[in-house]
Each structure stands twice: as structure tokens, then as C-alpha cells.
Structure 1
Amino acid sequence: MRGRRGASSSRPSPRPAAAAAAAASPVALTGRGGIVVIFGAGVVCGLLSRWLGVPLLAGAGFAIGCALAAFATRPADLLTLVVSPPLVFFAATFAVEFATTLGNGSLMRGVTVGVLATLAATAPWLFFGTLLTVVICLSRGLMTNVRELRDKLAGVRLFEKEENENPVRWDESPTTTQERRLHHGEVD
């Protein structure tokens, strides 16, 4: 048994290297994961705000969710995260209003009035959360994603321009096109 321990200890184990790599890398969410974090924070804090009667909690929770998502999302997905807070804010507000209006009279009227009133009251938090997300993502490398997208789009446009610039008609030769020209009164 002593020989086996000596042989296994001389060989490096892959577990410590993987554990060290996992400990060195922080949690990295995808763009969709960051959107879920923002939505979850918005819904939980929105519900707590309604139940506790503290309107400040809904907006502050959304802004905190935006900051957490911006710090935890991997750099390749920052562009996806930056454009999503307004839609996520609306979806979270709708979910909270739907959950709190359910069973209280007219659902359609209650949700419509509740969503409009909540959006009007918490609009500054929406702008703050969106701005916070943009600022954090800019410091984490958002401009690199924007440049990559611009380069991809420029490559697509360049390819389309070359393709449409000088079309070749394989089905007609130059001699047949001159013969086929219609005169003023003729119809093809």
C-alpha cells in the first residue's frame, strides 16, 4: 500500500488544477442569464414593494438587479444585456401587476391601470438602471462588442454590394440581347 501512495502522489492530479481554475474565475452569466437576474430582482422587489407598502423598493431592486447582471455577465454578451433593461422592466412590472391584481375585480382594467401607474411612478428608476447597466458594461468592454458587430455588418454590406454591383446574366449572350430589343410599338 505504501508503494501505491507514493506512485499516486508523484503524479499530478487533475482535480486541484480544475479547482484552482474554478476558484480563479468568477461567476459568468450569459446574456440571457443576466436578463433573468434583472427580471427576477425586479419581480421579487416589486412584489415586496407592494406587500410592504414601500414604493422605493421596486425601483431600487430593479437598479440593483441591473448592476448585478452587468457585473456577472460574460464580456461576450454585454451588448445583449445593455439593450434589454427597458423591456425587462416592463415585463417585470406587468408580472407584478398581474400577480397582485389577480382576484381583485376586473383583471384587464386592474392590470392596465396598475402597469401604467407603476411605469409612471418608477420611470426614473428605469432610466437609472439602464444608465447603470451601460456605464458598468462600458467599463467591462462593451465597445469591443460594438466594434465586432459593426465589422460583421460592414462585411455583410460589402458582400451584398459586390454581389449586386455587376450582375451577370448567364442565360443571355450579348448577341441575343441586341436581337431581342423591342421597337417602340412592339410588346414582348
Structure 2
Amino acid sequence: MWTIDELVERVREALAAEYPGAPNARVRSLPDRRAIRWYTTIGLVDKPLGMRGRTALYGPRHLQQLVAIKRRQAQGQSLAQIQADFVWITPEALREAAQVPEHLLNEVDGIPPDPVGEARTRFWADPAAPAPQPPAIVAAATDRAPRPVTAYPVNGVALGGGVTLLVPHALTDRDRDDIAAVATPLIELLAARGLIDGSSA
């Protein structure tokens, strides 16, 4: 696990080889500490793995997320487009998008790479474990035939500030853009009431 400064250095090393840089002056070529915190606030980057005293600690998945963001920005994608893609990105797709050299993902100072990130899966797609029930309810339930359970697919739009809108139907790029545009007053309201972090990079 790494401090935020060590994470920034690894991002720099990962992008050093063939990264063409940001497409315009409004986008930083490399993320700094403030940008990383902002990406975390809007849900583009996972929260730190934990703390060592007052120091936040990061792992390989954070490195892959940051490098993938910068590579996509270099291709001309906006943060809104990247957010929409990252809502459902799998670990395999993230690894492919980031293309971080393996040696940068390795452990440091004897601490193994992000054990949470390595085991993290698409938790929403996995069947939930049944909640424990009192013995009387379990006994009663065994006397009846099990009820069929219907699963419904959901699609998400990251709105910023860690807020994600879930809808039951597939979304087009135009849908995502229109939703993001009309969601601004909602995000401002949530930020004004302290329900999300309303800072910006």
C-alpha cells in the first residue's frame, strides 16, 4: 500500500512511456493530490484502503483507475463519459484500459498488493447470501414451496459527488448526457445540505 505521494509517483511512471498527455490545457497531464481527492469524491476512484495514523493508503486498483482516467482523457473523453463507463467496469476491463506495467503493481515494503482490490468483484452481480432467520421462521419456511425470485437488470449513471442514479432500462449516450445536465440542481442541493462533498478540481 502507498501514500498519496507514492501513488502519484507510480502514476507518473506508468504514463512515462507512451502517454501523449492531456488534449487541452484544462486537463492536467498528471493527477496531483487535489485531483485524486476530487476523483474519489465523484466516484471515479475508490476510497483509500485504510489509514496509517492520519495518512491515507492506496493500492494497485487506485493506480489502475488513475492511469485509465488519464489515458481516456488523452483520447478526448470527458470526465462525464469516463464516469459513465466506470460505473460497470470489471477488474479485467480496468486492467486493460490502464495497461500499468506489472512491476508498478507489485508489493512495496513487504506489504502485499491491495488485498481488497484483488478480490473485489462485481458484487451487485453475485447472489446475496441469505440473511440468518430465527429458528421458528426457518421451520415455517420449510413447509412451503420456495417462491420464485425475479431479477431485474439495472443501469447506472454517475452524477458526481458519489451519487449514482440507477434505472431499469438501458441508457444511450444521449440519455446519460441529458441526465447529467438536469442533475446539476440535485447535486448542488445535496452539496449545500452537506450530504455529499461538493468540492471540485
Tell me the TM-score normalized by structure 2. 0.26
Larger Rg: 1
Higher strand share: 2
Higher helix share: 1
